[in-house]
Amino acid sequence: MPEQKNNQFPIYGQHPVKEYIRALRSIQHKDSVLFNKVLASFHFLRSKGSESTADRMPVEAQELIKEFSLEIDIQHASYLNKITEPHSNQGVILFTDYPVLHSLSEKKFWDLFTSDARILILDHITDIQNFSAICRNAAALGVDFIVQGQDGSCSITPAVHRISAGAFSWIQLVTVSNLHPFLQKISESEIPVLLTVTDFDAENIFRWQPTSLRARGYALVMGNEEKGIRKSFRKLKVRKIRLPMDYKIQSLNVAHATTSFLSLLHYFIEASGNVD
């Protein structure tokens, strides 16, 4: 059962609602009611013209909701718009007490930890746009766990679900009290800890060969949008890697940089034959 954090937390938009309900299928307690109700606007359900994905979405939602013995509450569009303004809800809102379906404690993480785990560690990523984009791309590129510290991290809001287009519902999110001892413990395991920096003397990841990783698992550490990796992390005995760039300007924000690193790591694992 996920950790209950918010009362009547709204998730809205076609993909966020659909992915949230579908993600429920991956939860062991399938008979548990993890959301309270779904609103849909009647003009959305009765759209004119050819049948599009938008037109089919309410039908898909109803089929999934029936699986969990729930009903859709049909309301006028203006009622839904007041709830989500200034954001578009695309005619559907789901209310839940469980905004994070796959929330793990640090203890549970270590119970599940294996040497082939792909772990993304976010150190004080506070911008919601960056965090949401990172979640979506991490889900697409095979990351098993996203780890963040208890303090100074991005809060889980309806916008996270909306901007990530529902991918956040599939993320296994681990929140730890202190990232430094967590990193220390990871560095003593079999998987490599990869600290992303801009230092010129760090390993140029573009020069890696597929065998450079030598493992299926990894722990990639991304730093704060402005300050980067904190100094205390740099003292750990871990590998420091960088993306080669024209140093006249640092053009990549943390979301783009994270996607670049994850894409390359995914390639190295696949090319070396260390992929399932």
183, 237, 238 from 188: Cα distances, Å: 9, 9, 10
pLDDT at 67: 63
d(CA 260, CA 83): 36
DSSP three-state, residue 10: strand
Q: Is 90 exceeded by the pLDDT of residue 122?
A: yes
The DSSP bridge partners found for residue 204 are 242
pLDDT at 225: 78
Going by C-beta distance under 8 Å and a sequence separation of 6 or more, which residues neighbour residue 199? Answer: 240, 242
DSSP class of 168: G
Q: Is 50 exceeded by the pLDDT of residue 220?
A: yes
DSSP three-state, residue 163: helix
Residues 200-209 have a mean pLDDT of 85
d(CA 245, CA 253): 13
Strands 103-104 and 92-96: unpaired
Higher pLDDT, 168 or 209: 168
Mean of pLDDT over the chain: 79
pLDDT at 60: 53
Query: Please, which pLDDT band fits residue 62 given cuts at 50, 70 and 90?
Result: low
- Looking at residue 147, its amino acid is V
Query: Please, which pLDDT band fits residue 61 given cuts at 50, 70 and 90?
Result: low
Q: Is 90 exceeded by the pLDDT of residue 138?
A: yes
Q: Is 90 exceeded by the pLDDT of residue 154?
A: no
Q: Is 60 exceeded by the pLDDT of residue 204?
A: yes
pLDDT at 269: 86
Higher pLDDT, 184 or 55: 184
Query: Please, which pLDDT band fits residue 113 given cuts at 50, 70 and 90?
Result: very high
Kindly give the residue spans of alpha helices, DSSP state H, lying in the chain: 14-23, 42-45, 53-67, 77-84, 106-112, 128-140, 158-163, 179-187, 231-234, 254-271
What domains can be seen in the chain, in order of their start residue?
9-96 (3.30.1330.30), 103-271 (3.40.1280.10)
DSSP three-state, residue 127: coil
Token readout for 233 is 């992390």
Q: What is the DSSP string of 48-84?
A: -SS--HHHHHHHHHHHHHHHTT--EEEE-HHHHHHHH
Query: Please, which pLDDT band fits residue 33 given cuts at 50, 70 and 90?
Result: very low
d(CA 74, CA 71): 9
Taking a C-beta distance cutoff of 8 angstroms, is the pair 266, 141 a contact?
yes
- The percent of residues in the chain predicted with pLDDT above 70, rounded, is 75
Degrees, nearest 5: CA angle 25-30-33: 110
Q: Which residue, among 70, 92, 60, has the nearest Cα to 79 in the 3D structure?
A: 92
Query: Please, which pLDDT band fits residue 69 given cuts at 50, 70 and 90?
Result: low
pLDDT at 243: 87
Q: Is 60 exceeded by the pLDDT of residue 4?
A: no
Going by C-beta distance under 8 Å and a sequence separation of 6 or more, which residues neighbour residue 104? Answer: 112, 145, 172, 173, 174
Residues 148-169 have a mean pLDDT of 87
Taking a C-beta distance cutoff of 8 angstroms, is the pair 32, 97 a contact?
no
Higher pLDDT, 182 or 23: 182
Query: Please, which pLDDT band fits residue 37 given cuts at 50, 70 and 90?
Result: low
Lowest model confidence (mean pLDDT) among 22-26, 78-82, 142-146, 189-193: 22-26
Going by C-beta distance under 8 Å and a sequence separation of 6 or more, which residues neighbour residue 17? Answer: 11, 38, 61, 92, 93, 94, 166
pLDDT at 58: 52
Lowest model confidence (mean pLDDT) among 55-59, 72-76, 176-180, 204-208: 55-59
Q: Is 50 exceeded by the pLDDT of residue 32?
A: no
Residue 42: phi, psi to the nearest 5? -70, -30
